[in-house]
Each structure stands twice: as structure tokens, then as C-alpha cells.
Amino acid sequence: MPPKQLQQLRISQPVWDAASGNELMTLAHKHIVKAVDFIQESNYLLTGGQDKLLCIYDLNKPEAEPKEISGHTSDIKKALWCSEDKQILSADGKTVRIWDHATMTEAKSLNFNIAVSLDPIKPFEAPATINSASLHPEKEFLVAGGEDFKLCKYDYNSGEEIESYKGHFGPIHCVRFSPDGELYASGSEDGTLRLWQTVVGKTYGLWKCVLPEEDSGELAKPKIGFPETTEEELEEITSENSDCIYSSTPDVKA
């Protein structure tokens, strides 16, 4: 590619509606984006990436150029709002920096050029290489995923594997619990992002637990509810495509 065309190359950062899954807007970027974070009011989006710049987009004015903060000397790996959105925390390969949002200037930095020795708190044995793990907010257990396509749940105190889930068709690269601990998300090389219930069968969000009738002897059966869908329509969908309805409940291997 000629140099002039290379300079004009723009990389897009889509913004998605979490409820519908529809793309709301696309924000142009000059290079690969590696970190994004919304302000609490969701009207500003912070990004960071391979161009070593922090960009702040006003989502009410998506066509406007973003505010830029420079100072990192290598690719930005992580960028987060902190201190009630008054500050920005960002990290590259060797440096963590804190920025003042109002003045757009660096407030503090921590350099990791000097080797730091850290002692492990607790080891966990895994059947394959682990790429990502997340600790439950109440620190009762953790989930981890890696090269064997599985998500494994471990008891934090004993270190024993409680159960494992299989659903991805490629290595898992990221796992994170939701703030309330009721769900966790996993991202895989197979191109999918999956949401899992921490307690399978519990009524939460779109997961609806249908309780058995009294003395019927039937087990409770989880199903997913759809907004603006009548009970008759839901029954029809279930009968036609039950695998789709129940696909969000993972197969559990004790």
C-alpha cells in the first residue's frame, strides 16, 4: 500500500446496543483499538490502543473529533475511568499513568522497568493452559478458560474444580464476572462472546425459571424470555427451535 493511502487508513470502533445487539454508531480510529471504557453516564467513551493515544469521544456528537491525551511511549493495553470519572487510569507495557480528566494532564505515573517479585497467594491446577481467569465478587470461587475450549469453575478455598462448561469451539482468551456476580462473560477465538449463569436455572434477566406445579413431581426448567413476546408465541418458538431457546444454559460436567 502506498504511504499516502496508509496514512489515510482508518480503523473503526463500533458502539453496540447491549439489549438489541444492533450497532448504534461507528467511531473512526487511526490505529488498532485495544481498550474501551464508558463514563458512568455513558455519554463519553474512552479508548486506547496502538497509536499510544487516549481518545475521549462525545457520544452525543459522534461526528466530532475526539479529545486526545498523549504521553505513553508504547501501545496502550488498558484504559479505565476512575475516581468517579474525574481521573483516567491507563497502562502500556511498562508504565501505569493517572490523568486528570478536567485538565487532560498526567497526575501520577508508576514505572515497572525494575523487576518486581510477587509471591503467589494460591495456586490452582488446570488441565490445559489458562489464558484468563476471574474471581467471583464474593471470592467464593473463580472461573478460568484457556486452550482446551472449556470454562472451569474452582472453589477458591480448596482449589478443587467444581464443574466445567463446554460451549466454545476455539481457545478462550478472556473471562469476566459481572459486578453482581450473577453472570460471567467469555470471549473466544471462535469469534463468539458468551454469557453464562453463575447459578444455572436461577431467574435472572432473560433467564426465567419455570417452577413445577405443586405435587407434579416435575423438575424446574429454565428458559429464556423475550421482550414483547406473548406466552403463546414463546411456546410456539420453543416447540420449533428448543435448542436455540436453551442454548444459553451450559452443559455441566461434574
DSSP 198-224: SSTT--BTTEEEEPPPTT--PPPEEEE
Query: What integer pLDDT is reported at residue 81 of this predicted model?
Result: 92
pLDDT, tens digit, 9 for 90 and up, residues 43-75: 888 988 888 999 998 888 878 888 999 999 889
> Which regions in the chain score pLDDT beneath 50?
1-10, 214-254
Residue 17 CB contacts under 8 Å (≥ 6 apart), including other chains: 23, 24
Question: Cell 426465567 appears where?
Answer: 208
Closest CA to 91 of 107, 111, 105: 111
pLDDT, tens digit, 9 for 90 and up, residues 101-118: 999 999 998 887 766 677
All structural domains of the chain with their residue ranges = 3-111, 130-197, 207-246
From residue 175, alpha-carbon distances to 62, 80, 128, 137 in Å are 30, 18, 15, 14
CATH architecture of structural domain 130-197: Beta Barrel (2.40)
Three cell numbers at 209?
A: 425459571
Phi–psi pair at 231, nearest 5 degrees: -65, -35
Other CB atoms within 10 Å distance of the CB of residue 2: 7
Three cell numbers at 248?
A: 444459553
DSSP 12-48: EEEEE-TTT--EEEEEEESS-EEEEEE-TTSSEEEEE
N- to C-terminal Cα separation, the chain: 53
Query: What integer pLDDT is reported at residue 121 of this predicted model?
Result: 81
3-111: CATH superfamily: YVTN repeat-like/Quinoprotein amine dehydrogenase (2.130.10.10)
Query: What integer pLDDT is reported at residue 23 of this predicted model?
Result: 79
DSSP 132-196: EEEE-TTSSEEEEEETTSEEEEEETTT--EEEEEE--SS-EEEEEE-TTSSEEEEEETTS-EEEE
